Amino acid sequence: MQKIIVTGGAGFIGSNFVHYLITNHADIHVTVLDKLTYAGNKENLSGLPEDRFTFVKGDIADVDLVDSLVKETDAVVHYAAESHNDNSLENPYPFIHTNLVGTYVLLEACRKYNVRYHHVSTDEVYGDLPLREELPHSGTGPGEIFTETTPYNPSSPYSASKAGSDLLVKAWIRSFGLKGTISNCSNNYGPYQHIEKYIPRQITNILCGIKPKLYGEGKNVRDWIHTDDHSRAVWLVLTKGTIGETYLIGADGEKDNKTVMEMILELMGQPGNAYDHVKDRPGHDRRYGIDSSKLQTELGWKPIHTDFREGLSKTIEWYKNNEQWWRSQKDAVEAAYSKNGQ
Ligand code: NAD
Ligand code: TDX
For the CA of 226, the nearest ligand: 1
| Average pLDDT for 15-37 | 98
For the CA of 210, the nearest ligand: 2
| 32: CB partners within 8 A, 6+ apart | 5, 6, 7, 9, 10, 14, 18, 45, 53, 54, 55, 56
Give 329 Cα–ligand 2 centroid separation in angstroms: 18
User: For the chain, how many residues are written?
Assistant: 342
In 116-208, alpha helices (H): 157-176, 198-208
Neighbouring C-beta atoms of residue 44, cutoff 10 Å: 21
Listed residue (182, 198, 186) closest to 146, CA to CA: 186
- Partners of 222 in the β-ladder: 255
Q: pTM score, two decimals? A: 0.98
Catalytic site residue from 123, 229, 254, 334? 123
pLDDT above 90 (res 1): no
Look up 215 and say whether it is catalytic.
Answer: no
225 with 113: CB under 8 angstroms?
Answer: no
pLDDT above 80 (res 86): yes
Q: Is 300 left (phi over 0), alpha (psi -120 to 50) or beta?
A: left
pLDDT above 80 (res 137): no
Whether residue 78 has its Cβ less than 6 Å from ligand 1: no
Residue nearest ligand 1's atom 41 by CA: 188
Q: Are strands 254-256 and 221-223 parallel, antiparallel or unpaired?
A: antiparallel
pLDDT above 90 (res 142): no
| pLDDT tens digits for range 271-309 | 999 999 999 999 999 999 999 999 999 999 999 999 999
Q: Half-sphere exposure of residue 218, counting CA atoms within 13 Å on the CB side?
A: 16
| Average pLDDT for 12-22 | 98
**Model confidence at 81, in pLDDT bands (50, 70, 90)?**
very high
Q: Which atom of ligand 1 is nearest to the CA of 60?
A: 19
From CA 65, how far away is CA 226, in angstroms rounded? 33
186 with 222: CB under 8 angstroms?
Answer: yes
Q: Across all residues in the chain, what is the average pLDDT? A: 97
What pLDDT, on a 0 to 100 scale, did the predictor assign at position 209? Answer: 98
Look up 158 and say whether it is catalytic.
Answer: yes
What pLDDT, on a 0 to 100 scale, did the predictor assign at position 143? Answer: 87
CA 183, distance to chain mean position in Å, is 11
Assign domain 3-195+223-255+286-310 one CATH number from 3.10.129.10, 3.40.50.720, 3.40.190.10, 1.10.274.10. Answer: 3.40.50.720
Catalytic site residue from 59, 82, 124, 254? 124
| pLDDT tens digits for range 197-206 | 999 999 999 9
Listed residue (121, 234, 212, 116) closest to 168, CA to CA: 121
From CA 331, how far away is CA 335, in angstroms rounded? 6
Q: Which atom of ligand 2 is nearest to the CA of 196?
A: 7
Q: Half-sphere exposure of residue 135, counting CA atoms within 13 Å on the CB side?
A: 15
Q: Are strands 75-78 and 2-7 parallel, antiparallel or unpaired?
A: parallel
| pLDDT tens digits for range 107-127 | 999 999 999 999 999 999 999
Listed residue (214, 181, 52) closest to 115, CA to CA: 181
From CA 221, how far away is CA 319, in angstroms rounded? 23
First to last CA, the chain: 48
Residue nearest ligand 1's atom 13 by CA: 80
Give 29 Cα–ligand 2 centroid separation in angstroms: 33
Give 85 Cα–ligand 2 centroid separation in angstroms: 7
| pLDDT tens digits for range 216-271 | 999 999 999 999 999 999 999 999 999 999 999 999 999 999 999 999 999 999 99
Residue nearest ligand 2's atom 16 by CA: 198
What pLDDT, on a 0 to 100 scale, did the predictor assign at position 93? Answer: 98
pLDDT above 90 (res 91): yes
